[in-house]
Homo-oligomer: A and B are copies of this chain.
Amino acid sequence: MARKLYRTAVVGATGAVGNMMIRVIEERRFPVADLTLLASARSVGKELSYNGTAIGVRELREDSFAGLDLALFSAGAGVSRRFAPLAAAAGCVVVDNSSAFRMDPAVPLVVPEVNRDALRDHAGIIANPNCSTIQMVVALKPIYDAAGIKRIVVTTFQAVSGTGKRAVEELRRQCAAVAAGAEPESSVYPHPIAFNCLPHIGPFLDNGYTEEEMKMVNETRKMFGDPEIRVCATTVRVPVYYGHSESVVVETCRPLSVAAARELLEAAAGVLVVDNPAENLYPLALNAAGNDETYVGRLRGDPSVANGLALWVVADNIRKGAATNAVQIAECLIRDGLLRVPAKN
């Protein structure tokens, strides 16, 4: 029997995440009938390769979604806010990588390893979580299921690719400038990122936290369906191209030994435990880059609190943190018979 194929669009196809969505669709042999690449008017004329064929980028317009089954959006929250509802109204299911709908109670926010069941309630739009949240919840899911989670203190080491292609170029240029004895020039970030750490990701809010930090608080609660989980996040940009690293210190509700946590993590979907300090083996951004797993290591008890565990979590922020998770959501929609926009009540 021929496999059913789906008319699919990537919105924001020329961006770092959009590019990677095309790669991941290829790699995973996602059942595409016809791939439509959409972007703003200034990208029209560009061609991108898909399975060896050059596909021209088309302008994203209000009528772009007629006849499509699925659109993966990664073009910023403003574009999603305007076009995702139009796509859904046209019968095209949207998996949206922006922050536009993540906290909308009517929109499922999904990491398949964590809360695939939430897809059942979608009304045409599914939100893909923030990169730094995705890898943390993948690592914490088996711990949460076994022992509950009371509090998380997380500090991130985030790669510049999360900001986009211009930030990758900025880091490259700044490194070259420093090597040549010149002053590094900054335009993407307010300060040099080369050989520096910026405790500033996303705008600052009135409570002293950044938007990125509050995403880690709110998205974690929403995905675990547990508003009681307490999270203190510090999100930091570091001079790394690909791969976010995270220091995660967690207080479970019930006791969970390190050995039991390790066993659960080793069996967990999407997790690869790399944790052999005697051999200098622990998760590293350079090793995670290009892979889809969430790497967990430095697993140890935290004797500074009852039921404390500490771990080090690393993943490719453009893949599992964005493109791969979005494609995985689409795969789940197909498998669960949910790749259709339900009729309104």
- Contact surface of A with B, Cβ cutoff 8 Å: 151-153, 155, 157, 172, 175-176, 179, 190-192, 195-200, 204, 207-209, 230-232, 234, 236, 238-241, 245, 247, 249, 258, 277-278, 280, 282-286, 297-305, 308, 310, 312
Contacts and interface: CB of A to CB of B under 8 A. Distances in A.
Contacts of A277: 200, 204, 208
Contact of A312 (B234, B300, B304): B234
Contact of A208 (B157, B236, B258): B258
A209 B300 contact: yes
A179 B179 CA distance: 10
Contacts of A208: 258, 277, 298-301
A274 to B, nearest CB: 11
B232 A298 contact: no
A65 to B, nearest CB: 39
Given A157-B197, A200-B277, 9 more contacts: A157-B157, A195-B241, A196-B240, A197-B240, A199-B245, A204-B278, A208-B298, A208-B299, A231-B304
A10 B298 CA distance: 38
A305 B229 CA distance: 11
Contacts of A191: 280, 284, 286
A38 to B, nearest CB: 32
Contact of A157 (B238, B285, B302, B303): B238
B245 A197 contact: yes
Nearest to A175: B175
A198 B172 CA distance: 20
Contact of A286 (B153, B157, B192, B308): B192
Contacts of A192: 286
B151 A207 contact: no
A198 B298 CA distance: 11
B239 A155 contact: no
Contacts of A196: 240, 284-286
A284 B209 contact: no
A198 B247 CA distance: 11
A285 B204 CA distance: 20
A190 B280 contact: yes
Nearest to A300: B208
A197 B285 contact: yes
Contact of A305 (B232, B238, B301): B232
Indicate the member of A172, A190, A199 with the most B CB atoms within 10 Å.
A199
A297 to B, nearest CB: 8
A72 to B, nearest CB: 28
Given A196-B284, A305-B151, A236 B247 contact: yes
B195 A239 contact: yes
Contacts of A175: 175, 179
A336 to B, nearest CB: 34
Contact of A304 (B230, B240, B286): B230
